[in-house]
Amino acid sequence: MTPTRRRLLTTGLAAGATLGLGPVLKAPALRAQNRLNVVATTGMIADAARFILGDAGEVRALMGPGVDPHAFRQTRSDIVAMTRADLTLWHGLYLEAQMEEFLLNLARRRSVVPVADRIDPALLLSHPDYDGRFDPHVWMAPEIWSHVVASIADALQEAQPDLAPTFEARATEYRDTVAALHAYASDVLSTVPEDSRVLVTAHDAFSYFGRAYGFEVLGIQGISTESEAGLNRIRDLVDTLVTRRIGAVFVETSVSDRNMRALIEGAAARGHKVTIGGELYSDAMGEPGTYEGTYPGMIDHNVTTIARALGGTAPEKGRIGQLGAAG
């Protein structure tokens, strides 16, 4: 039992009142004051935590659609939420660069867990522009994200040991979906002609994706969107697009497309037509309440969009026919 449980007498009751009736858990019904109150920084972490918790608690994601985690700074209401939560789950690996100091401070008094920090370093990638740190974008490779889901389940079990078996079973179910996403991605991305396996994006969020599925990845900006893309970088990429006849580039929902337009115009000035292959969810998921607003939907969308834009074959509506359908 954590020392924070008393606080739930106020926050947990309020959360229970607004949630209404959820699916019936196989575990004994929880009194409202025992419901876990969890805060997650990114939508991807929140999606797994929500699924594992079921109606045993509530998860608030601080970063919504289109929010850039490299630049995100907590608001006053975020601080209140994290201070009152039974558990705060953050990514770590310096993804939340502007929040890290706050989170490390909070960890001295509250349960605060960086869920990607426990990944075996042998699985992680470094980057020449990111001295001494690992690339944080591990959700892009479902096989690696599966380890993070296990960390999320561990943290929830520690916060609510009575429900550990239930959480364990639900985490296994979620990880099965993540494994199915990896299988789908391997399948459809292998249909892209080898010469076309080049992914040009706004920032370097796709290195794990590239390693997992055999794509060369070229970001205009580095790993963090906080770095400026220099004119030299844009000129070099225009050269690459023109000489290698790359016909499609991708914009990202959480990064400005200003640099991407410069790239397309630069190639056009040299007589090479480049189109936008689609919009990818790099560091944030889609709108809540849509399939793309879930982690499986986000990855399905990216994989399906990339395969189709680069000459491969993938079903228009994705792995389970849900892409583009509201709700």
**Which residues lie near Zn ion (CB under 5 A)?**
205, 283
Q: Which is nearer to Zn ion, 58 or 283 (CB)?
A: 283
For Zn ion, the closer CB: 223 or 274: 223
Structure tokens at 189: 């991305």
CB of 253 to Zn ion, least distance (A): 11
Q: CB 219 → Zn ion: shortest distance, Å?
A: 9
Residue with smaller CB distance to Zn ion, 283 or 300: 283
Q: Which residues lie closer than 8 Å to 220 by C-beta, 6 or more apart? A: 200, 201, 202, 203, 229, 233, 234, 237, 259, 260, 263
Minimal distance in Å, beta carbon 144 to Zn ion?
15
34, 55, 85 from 159: Cα distances, Å:
11, 15, 11
Instruction: Please identify, using beta-carbon distances, which residue of 86 and 283 lies nearer to Zn ion.
Output: 283
Nearest to 300 by CA among 211, 193, 188, 172: 188
For Zn ion, the closer of residues 74 and 282 by Cβ is: 282
Q: Which one-letter DSSP state was computed for residue 208?
A: H
Tell me the residue type at 294.
T
Rounded least distance, CB 70 to Zn ion, Å: 6
Instruction: Give 38's DSSP letter.
Output: E
Query: In the 8-state DSSP scheme, what is residue 95?
Result: S
Nearer to Zn ion, 78 or 283 (CB): 283
Write down the least CB distance from residue 66 to Zn ion, Å. Answer: 13
C-alpha 277: how far from chain center = 21
Angstrom distances, CA of residue 198 to CA of 223, 230, 244, 277: 17, 21, 10, 12
How far apart CA 272 and CA 112 sit, in angstroms, is 50
Q: Between 96 and 283, whose beta carbon lies closer to Zn ion?
A: 283
What would the two tokens of residue 285 be?
């998921």
Considering the complex, what minimum distance in angstroms separates the CB of residue 95 from Zn ion? 7
Min separation Cβ 91 and Zn ion, Å: 11
HSE-up (13 A, CA, CB side) for residue 141: 23
Which of residues 57 and 136 has its CB atom nearest to Zn ion in the complex? 136
Helix or strand holding residue 272 (H, E):
none
CA 42 – CA 138 distance, rounded (Å): 13
Alpha carbon distances (Å) from 255 to 43, 55, 83, 106? 16, 34, 29, 29
Shortest distance (Å) from residue 179 CB to Zn ion: 24
CA 35 to chain centre: 25
